[in-house]
Amino acid sequence: MFGKKEKNILKQPKIYSPPKEQKPFVFPRYLKIILVVLIGLAAIIYLIFFSTIFKINNFQIIGNIPEDSNKKIESARGQNIFFYSSKELEDGLIKENPQFLNIKVSKGIPNLLRVKIEERSPQIIWKTNGKVFLVDEGGIAFKEIPTEESYTLPKVTDNKNINMTIPSQVATSNFTIFIKDLSSKVNNDQSYGVSISSFQINETIFQVDAITDKGFKMIFDTTRPLSDQLDAFLKVYKDHKDEIKEYIDLRVEGWVYYK
């Protein structure tokens, strides 16, 4: 009798693997640094280019300035202080105002524009071709004036009658100082016995004629020491003042000519 064959079925045991623990995502350190840098740069760019913090809004003007030039300075209002051209403003103001010796424009962070003005100081009056100008110590004619009467400055007439524009270099600083010293010494010291009303130049500034209240002129060499020429004048004028009618020439060292 045949029995049924029993089949032994071998089953694989079930293997249970617990799920792996998921590690949280960690932002890489270098990416953090890059992100912080980018955010910082964006903030800086915004502050510099778009924020009102660095827009020029305050002004400090040191010195006197004409209304038109003041408007030129005010035109900087609202402009970015980092990109505003101080040099361009300086050059523009100097060009419009020959009476300015120097202009310095500086910036004060975050929004201040500072303008410091140094004006020329008139030392002599220069007359040529029917016009009257103020001249500073450097010999620069920087301003035309309608009349000389309101200024108590030495007056120099240029008999060459040259046309000129402002500013113009009409003399040297040595000439200007010479004229000032000569006028001051003679007019403030009674021992000279004369006073000088004005000066004249003809061909060159190396020679100047001082017109006196006695009707004659004193001729000086502006390149020689003034004291030597005045000493020579005192010695001759004391003994010969009644003979001097037209001029006394003091230009040559050791000699005095008069007529």
Provide the CATH number for the domain around residue 90: 3.10.20.310
In a domain, 188, yes or no: yes
Domain that holds residue 38: 28-119
Is 165 found in the same domain as 233? yes
How many domains in the chain?
2
How does residue 15 score in pLDDT terms, banded at 50, 70 and 90? low
- The closest of 197, 181, 196, 199 to 126, measured between CA atoms, is 199
Residue 3 CB contacts under 8 Å (≥ 6 apart), including other chains = none
In a domain, 21, yes or no: no
168-217 pLDDT tens trace: 999 999 999 999 999 999 999 999 999 999 999 998 999 999 999 999 99
Domain end marker among 94, 119, 144: 119
Residue type, 46: Y
Specify the CATH number for the domain of residue 143. Answer: 3.40.50
Is 237 found in the same domain as 144? yes
pLDDT at 55 over 80: yes
In a domain, 19, yes or no: no
In a domain, 102, yes or no: yes
How does residue 1 score in pLDDT terms, banded at 50, 70 and 90? very low
How does residue 104 score in pLDDT terms, banded at 50, 70 and 90? very high
pLDDT at 11 over 70: no
Domain end marker among 67, 96, 119: 119
Q: What is the 3-state secondary structure (H, E, C) of the chain?
A: CCCCCCCCCCCCCCCCCCCCCCCCCCCCHHHHHHHHHHHHHHHHHHHHHHCCCCECCEEEEECCCCHHHHHHHHCCCCCECCCCCHHHHHHHHHHHCCCEEEEEEEEECCCEEEEEEEECCEEEEEEECCEEEEEECCCEEEEEECCCCCCCCCEEEECCCCCCCCCEECCCHHHHHHHHHHHHHHHCCHHHCCCEEEEEECCCCCEEEEEECCCCEEEEECCCCHHHHHHHHHHHHHHHCCCCCCEEECCCCCCCEEC
In a domain, 75, yes or no: yes
109-165 pLDDT tens trace: 999 999 999 999 999 999 999 999 999 999 999 999 998 888 899 999 999 988 888
Place of tokens 């209002």: 77
* Residue 173 phi, psi dihedral angles, 5° rounding: -65, -35
- The closest of 113, 138, 141, 112 to 129, measured between CA atoms, is 141
In a domain, 38, yes or no: yes
The answer to whether the peptide bond before residue 24 is cis (omega within 30 degrees of 0) is: no
Is 36 found in the same domain as 126? no
Is 162 found in the same domain as 114? no
- Percent of the residues in the chain that have a pLDDT greater than 90, as a whole number: 67
d(CA 174, CA 186): 18
- The closest of 138, 225, 144, 139 to 181, measured between CA atoms, is 225
By CB atoms closer than 10 A (0-12, 13-18, 19+), residue 162 is exposed
Is 105 found in the same domain as 187? no
